[in-house]
Structure 1
Amino acid sequence: MYKIPPQVAQELLGGLMTAVMWFDADQKLQWMNLSASELFFCGLNKARGRPFSWFFPKTDIDWKACEHMRMTLHEQVLERDDGQQLEGRLVIASYDIQGENGWLVEVNETLRERRILEEEERWHQYEAGTQLVKTLAHEIKNPLAGIYGATQLLKPQLPDTRQAHKALSVIRDEVKRLQNLVDRMLGPRKLPELAPHNIHDVLGYVLEVLEGERPANISIRLDYDPSIPEFAMDFEQLVQAFINLVRNAFQAMHAHGGVLTLRTRVEHRFTLGQKLLPQVVVVEVIDEGEGIPPELADAIFYPMVTSKPDGTGLGLPVSQAVVRQHGGLITTESEPGHTCFSVILPLPREREAHDA
């Protein structure tokens, strides 16, 4: 059993990024730090007194064994106050705080950590491939420009017949189509023009633009955090990024219908790759479609990868590139009936936002 002064516990454990919880001898919660409150989406006043089994409904603990040794449990189910279940790693140890025995529980959400690390690795691989694509794209655009210019020179020399002009028009149209395709493969061609905006205004505008595409059998549920402040963003670029995500969700549910959920939250002390961010905005685009085919799950942010017969496979790479230019990342989790794209955007501190 470990001993720790209560004031030290409050000061040291309260500021940790790791979720830490203190249960009394009867395994009822008495205290948790801010990270734990955010992880379980529940404040201390509301959570105090809840049994260990409420937070970890599928975890079976040998409490007698824990009295003599620190216990680590992997891949445990975490139950949030909003009903969402997560996956985490628990470290449980017996402690004595000011003569009162209890249990100190450290919680790390492993599923999201793993998704972020996997997405970061995919992004680095994607960037390496993108450099090759950009080189090839520029090599393609040069002869396309030459072909288009040649059609302009050729036009006055052709017979003045409908067939000749139609053939020339087809060539010009196809050249323009290929040029547009190459431009889309190159992704955003300019740096974001940042100005303060509300992320909910972006989402509202996206829904207005796509209202005409929304099938009648799809309803929309908005679950917004109204406390999210304005922050610096390129409004137009983020609109395009979310148009791609929402349009994909509509298409995924087109056959059987369902609910499209847009959820926004602020998370604190968020680790993105190797960088610790004080705050992030997380925007979740959730659909009830058939899910992403498993064989495409690791490649959906690569250009030209799509499961749609008439798809280009360029929407998601563009969205990811836009969000990366904002310092964020898009992650995804998918199974039949539930696909969630999480757009993670850094939220500047209050002073930084004011300076911007």
Structure 2
Amino acid sequence: MDSNNLLNNLVTAVLVIDKQLKPCFANAAAEQLLGLGNHRLLESTLPELYQELAIAPSLLQDAIASNQGLTVNTASLMTLDGQLHTVDLTLIPLENDPQFGLLELRQVDQQRRIHQQLNLDAQQQAAQFLVRNLAHEIKNPLGGLRGAAQLLSRELKEPELKEFTSMIIEQADRLSNLVNRLLGPQRPSQHSLHNIHQVVQKVLQLLEMTQPANVTIVRDYDPSIPDMSMDPEQLQQAVINLVQNAIQSLEQCGGEILIKTRTQHQVTMGNRRHKLALALSVIDNGPGVPSEIIDTLFYPMVTGREQGSGLGLSIAHNIARLHGGRIDCTSSPGHTEFTLTLPFQ
């Protein structure tokens, strides 16, 4: 049995390092955690692979030199791309070769994120159930109101009176459209193989005409990402909502939006673990999401903007759920990142 293949299927990041802290092996989870390819990992020393780690490199060197194990719990790790993680770090000397040590970095923030996702899904489904029931209660009398206005319009002869019935019909249609947006897609549709980059490019073409001059969009695609099973129209709507949200946050101050695609290995979503997943990130350098709404950001009718409807992110989250995925958000002033994660079936 191939030991390298076994290590590459672990969720825990594993590196084998020597006394100079130069890796000679890194599994797929280490590549994902550090955000670097295997070639880059093996040609650098460990301190060159991250910005900050809450443990001095000399402690790791001393542990390998003295053939002693080392464990540090809940250590903060900031990777080169600015991502902050909390990890449990364990260094184990190799019995057969004391010149090397096996370094494990286990993300403990992943368990917290999984718990938050399950909690968010449960709360959002409860909120959507309430909204759906309310929406149906609104649509029934709304349809009757519109029909009555149409019948009354046929009986009226004076054009100035028909203006009032036209106003009733117009406002009834507006409310009906709002209710339909509240309901959103509720069931998985027919999926087929499509390329995610074609979906993103279609979104950018649609938004190009309304994109403010002070907002720049930068693309960072991984061309090796294969086609995946999806409803392209639903995903297009989800991506539109995410990119529009970023554009609106930058309208006043201007800035840059980065759209990045990557693959992730051994990703747990809900109660299922997936060997391979797509991560589509929409990152802006705007003012950030208000802290008071960050935990309820994906609920219907929750928004931080005066003119916002609070439906875009809720619909995007629901579309991700119908595709077996999720949307995560991390935000601080100058860096807001929404990541759409979808499993390859």
Q: Is the 8 A contact 2:117 2:270 kept in 1?
A: no
Paired amino acid for 2:129: Q
Q: Which range is displaced more, 215-224 or 32-41? A: 32-41
What corresponds to 2:29 in structure 1? 35
* Residues 75, 89 of structure 2: 8 Å contact kept: no
Tell me how far apart the structure 2 counterparts of residues 44 and 323 of structure 1 sit (CA, whole Å): 30
1:21 partnered with 2:15: yes
Match of 1:76 in 2: 76
* Pairwise CA distance, 1:94: 3.4
**Superposition RMSD in Å:** 2.2
Whether the 8 Å contact between 2:9 and 2:266 is mirrored in structure 1 is no
Deviation track 1:232-254 (CA, whole Å, cap 9, x = no partner) reads 21111111111111111111111
**Deviation at residue 87 of structure 1 after TM alignment:** 0.9
* Counterpart contact for 1:323–1:330, Cα < 8 Å: yes
* CA distance in structure 2 between the partners assigned to 1:189 and 1:46 by the alignment: 43
Aligned pairs, how many?
339
Q: Which moved more, 1:230-239 or 1:203-212?
A: 230-239
| TM superposition shift of 1:120 | 3.0
Among all aligned residue pairs of Structure 1 and Structure 2, give the percentage whose two residues are the same amino acid: 37
2:207 is aligned with 1:210: yes
TM, length-normalised to structure 1? 0.88
Distance (Å, rounded) in 2 between the aligned partners of 1:155 and 1:8: 78
* 1:314 alignment partner in structure 2: 311
3-state DSSP of counterpart to 1:297: helix
Q: Which deviates more from structure 2 when the two are superposed, residues 67-76 or residues 265-274?
A: 67-76
Question: Which amino acid letter does the alignment assign opposite residue 148 of structure 1?
Answer: R
- Is it true that 1:302 corresponds to 2:299 in the alignment? yes
For the residues of structure 2 that align with 1:241 and 1:220, how far apart are their CA atoms?
17
Instruction: Select which of 107, 115, 134 maps to 1:117.
Output: 115
Q: Which ranges in structure 2 are unaligned for 5 or more consecutive residues?
A: none
Contact 2:69 2:93 in 1 (8 A): no
Contact 2:263 2:278 in 1 (8 A): yes
Change (3 A) 1:103 1:321: same
Partner of 1:129: 127
Deviation at 1:39, TM superposition (A): 2.2
User: Which residue is 2:235 aligned to?
Assistant: 238
Alpha-carbon shift at residue 40 of structure 1 (Å): 1.9
**More displaced stretch, 185-194 vs 10-19:** 10-19
> Are 1:284 and 2:281 matched, yes or no?
yes
The equivalent of 2:84 in structure 1 is 86
Which secondary structure state, in structure 1, belongs to the residue aligned with residue 151 of structure 2? Answer: helix
Instruction: Give the letter aligned to residue 12 of structure 2.
Output: T
Q: Secondary structure at the match of 2:303?
A: coil
Task: Give the aligned partner of residue 183 of structure 2.
Answer: 186
Give the Cα separation in 2 of the matches to 1:32 and 1:156.
76
Deviation (angstroms), 1:166: 1.1
Which segment drifts farther, 268-277 or 13-22? 13-22
Indicate the residue corresponding to 1:274 in structure 2: 271
> Are 1:249 and 2:243 an aligned pair?
no
CA distance in 2, matches of 1:156, 1:44: 73
Counterpart position of 2:324: 327
Mapped contact 2:88–2:108 kept (Cα < 8 A): no
From the superposition, tell whether residues 72 and 216 of structure 1 become closer, same or farther in structure 2 (CA, over 3 Å): same
CA distance in 1, matches of 2:206, 2:6: 49
The aligned residue for residue 153 of structure 1 is 151
How far does residue 152 in structure 1 lie from its aligned partner after superposition? Answer: 2.2
Distance 1:314 1:11, change over 3 A: closer
Report SS of the residue matched to 2:100: strand
**How much has 1:210 moved relative to structure 2?**
0.7
- Would the aligned equivalents of 1:86 and 1:111 in 2 still touch at CA under 8 Å? no
Amino acid at match of 1:20: V
Q: Aligned partners of 1:79, 1:190: CA distance in 2, in Å?
A: 38
Q: Secondary structure at the match of 1:164?
A: helix
Write the letter of the residue equivalent to 2:48.
Answer: W
Q: Given the superposition, is the C-alpha separation of residues 205 and 143 from structure 1 closer, same or farther in structure 2, using an over 3 Å criterion?
A: same
More deviation, 14-23/321-330: 14-23
Task: Give yes or no for contact 1:75–1:110 (8 Å, CA) kept in 2.
Answer: no
Q: Name the CA distance, whole Å, in 2 between partners of 1:14 and 1:306.
A: 41
Secondary structure of the structure 2 residue equivalent to 1:298: helix
Q: Give yes or no for contact 1:329–1:345 (8 Å, CA) kept in 2.
A: yes
Contact 2:35 2:79 in 1 (8 A): no
Runs of at least 5 residues in structure 1 that lack an aligned partner in the other structure:
1-6, 349-356
Structure 1 residues 325 and 260, CA gap change in structure 2 (3 angstroms): same
